[in-house]
Structure 1
């Protein structure tokens, strides 16, 4: 067998394996605790401090205009200068649920 033909045969043989991957989709409403309030766009840093306290971690400004990130336990806040431009909840994977037991047909 020629080398290119062998390679092509191998690739075509592996193609069905790649098509069997699972895709997990998490609806936006289920991505994190929706009960945790988040800072509003346009809110001042001082107001965020008053409402949520000191962040767990504060990252240095990056870029022009400067964008700063404050990390809290459940979310991060992004500031442009001193105003909130976005706040996002951290992803928390749910505990894996054990597979349901297989049902056995009733014995006659």
Structure 2
């Protein structure tokens, strides 16, 4: 709700990355620019593959602790899974 001053007030919750997955933050994982072949050679086969979808084609490889996103056959991003039980 806006007050007389015109400023909006909201709560913001920030969880530092170091507290989200303390056991995974230093885990070796694929880095940007690595090829699909190199990823498979170094990290093994993914548990699942989705895509390619769109233009440029984006393919997703799921591993136990992270997801790897490829554009064509090169890594563009690797995301840790934070909700592991």
Task: Indicate the TM-score class for this superposition, using the shorter chain for normalisation.
Answer: 0.7 to 0.9
TM-score by length of 2: 0.76
Structure with a larger share of its residues in helix:
1
**1:29 Cα deviation after fit:** 2.2
Instruction: List per-residue Cα deviations over 1:55-98 (Å, max 9, x = no partner).
Output: 0010021110100000000000000000000000001268xxxx
CA distance in 2 between counterparts of 1:30 and 1:42 reads: 28
Give 1:28 deviation, angstroms: 1.6
Q: Give TM-score scaled by structure 1 length.
A: 0.61
Helix, strand or coil: the match of 1:68? Answer: strand
Aligned length: 75
**Pair member with larger Rg:** 1
Per the alignment, do residues 93 and 77 of structure 1 end up closer, same or farther by CA in structure 2, a change over 3 Å counting?
closer
Question: Which blocks of at least 5 consecutive residues in structure 2 are unaligned?
Answer: 1-10
Q: Does 1:74 align with 2:65?
A: yes
Query: SS state of the match for residue 31, structure 2?
Result: coil
Higher strand share: 2
